[in-house]
């Protein structure tokens, strides 16, 4: 069977002040933004991180070009898994470019199904437009998306809330991100897959303490379109831990795990499975 082309290329034209070249820190910033968007889509589609990215080409000319390819993580290639996960790299690749297509076409019914963190991560690809790079593009073998003002405005419009109100939302707090402003993400049982919550520095320790636990978040809820569900919560004022007496699940290896492996190896594999 012919191997499918899953290459993803990032092309950046540097600023005139840099003679058309891209500074290293700016290139790393763009690659980090692209990787974050891809990883969030991976987790949204598959519930966990299933692929990593291999650099297959680096240009030495101007404009700068980096080509990456999604590769199934080694732990999912084990014999005992057979080929049940072999389709995941293609699935993540397809979902990313499908999301980009929805954004370019401003397909609101489909975009309402995309979580705020994913769109927010894609928006970061445009942060350096005009200041870190003059122009750019992201492409695969079939389609190309220009990183220009037109697409940037479309993404920014998606992140602009239609209305807001003060209230609370319950969900499981599964991630904290302080790279660009303090944010944590909760995953409600119903409604949107995830909600981005912006919290003050004074609440950082409390947010960390609630990681991987069910919480109720209070703040200003912002809504995109008329979904009836908030896409983000800003100015978080309080964070309540729900079911505080419920013990965190303990690790219990399955009977087939005891096949001569050391205990630390069993625990490591269990953690990696849901990395």
pLDDT tens, position by position, 111-128: 877 877 788 889 989 989
Q: Please tell me the distance from the alpha carbon of residue 173 to that of residue 260, in angstroms, as a whole number.
A: 36
Final residue of a domain: which of 115, 132, 158? Answer: 158
Residue 2 located in a structural domain: no
Q: What is the pTM of this model?
A: 0.69
Condensed to tens digits (0 to 9), the pLDDT of residues 26-42 reads 999 999 999 989 998 99
Residue 256 lies in a domain: no
Cα distance between residue 42 and residue 229, in whole Å:
23
Residues 144 and 32 occupy one common structural domain: yes
In a domain, 47, yes or no: yes
Residues 149 and 198 in one domain: no
pLDDT, residue 248, reads 43
Distance CA 245, CA 248 (A): 9
Q: Could you give the number of structural domains in the chain? A: 2
Please tell me whether residues 180 and 120 are part of one structural domain.
no
pLDDT in tens, 213-236: 999 999 999 887 656 778 889 899
> Which of 109, 127, 158 represents a domain boundary (last residue)?
158
Residue 259 lies in a domain: no
pLDDT digits (tens, 9 = 90+) for 133-153: 999 999 999 999 999 999 999
pLDDT lower than 70: segments of the chain? 1-3, 79-82, 179-180, 225-227, 244-275
Angle at 99 between CA 96 and CA 101, to 5 degrees: 110
Co-location of 195 and 70 in the same domain: no
Judgement on whether residues 121 and 106 belong to the same structural domain of the protein: yes
Tell me the C-alpha distance between 129 and 136, whole Å: 8
Residue 173 within any structural domain of the chain: yes
Q: What is the CATH number of the domain that holds 237?
A: 2.40.50.140
Given 117, 143, 158, the domain boundary residue is: 158
- 143: CB partners within 8 A, 6+ apart: 97, 101
Indicate if 87 and 181 belong to the same structural domain. no
Structural domain contains residue 271: no
Tell which residue, 48, 46, 70, 68, has the closest CA to residue 59.
Answer: 68
Cα 152–Cα 177–Cα 208 angle in degrees, nearest 5: 160
27 with 76, same domain? yes
Q: Are residues 79 and 191 in the same domain?
A: no
Within 178-261, strands assigned E span: 183-187, 195-198, 213-223, 230-241
Q: Which of 146, 137, 133, 149 is nearest to 17 (CA)?
A: 133
Q: Quick one: 149 and 176 in the same domain?
A: no
Residue 248 lies in a domain: no
What is the domain extent for residue 141?
Answer: 8-158
55 belongs to a structural domain: yes
133 and 174: one domain? no
Domain co-membership, 24 together with 115: yes
The SS3 call for residue 71 is strand
Do both 118 and 227 map to the same domain? no
The DSSP secondary-structure symbol of 179 reads: B
């Amino acid at each position: 069977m012919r191997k499918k082309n899953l290459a993803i290329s990032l092309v950046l034209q540097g600023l005139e002040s840099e003679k058309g070249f891209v500074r290293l820190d700016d290139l790393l910033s763009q690659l980090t933004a692209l990787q974050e968007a891809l990883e969030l889509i991976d987790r949204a589609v598959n519930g966990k991180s299933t692929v990593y990215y291999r650099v297959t080409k680096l240009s030495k000319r101007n404009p700068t070009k980096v080509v990456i390819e999604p590769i199934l993580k080694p732990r999912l290639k084990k014999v005992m898994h057979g080929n049940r996960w072999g389709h995941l790299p293609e699935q993540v690749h397809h979902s990313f470019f499908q999301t980009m297509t929805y954004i370019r076409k401003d397909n609101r019914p489909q975009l309402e199904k995309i979580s705020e963190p994913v769109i927010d991560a894609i928006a970061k690809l445009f942060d350096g437009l005009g200041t870190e790079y003059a122009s750019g593009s992201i492409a695969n073998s079939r389609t190309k998306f220009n990183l220009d003002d037109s697409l940037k405005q479309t993404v920014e419009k998606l992140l602009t809330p239609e209305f807001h109100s003060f209230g609370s939302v319950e969900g499981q707090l599964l991630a904290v991100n302080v790279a660009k402003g303090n944010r944590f993400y909760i995953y409600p049982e119903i409604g949107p897959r995830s909600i981005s919550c912006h919290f003050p520095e004074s609440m950082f320790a409390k947010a960390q303490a609630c990681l991987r636990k069910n919480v109720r978040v209070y703040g200003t809820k912002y809504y995109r379109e008329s979904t009836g569900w908030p896409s983000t919560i800003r100015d978080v004022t309080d964070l309540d831990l729900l079911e505080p007496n419920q013990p965190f699940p303990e690790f219990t290896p399955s009977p087939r795990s005891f096949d001569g492996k050391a205990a630390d190896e069993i625990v490591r594999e269990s953690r990696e499975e849901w990395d």
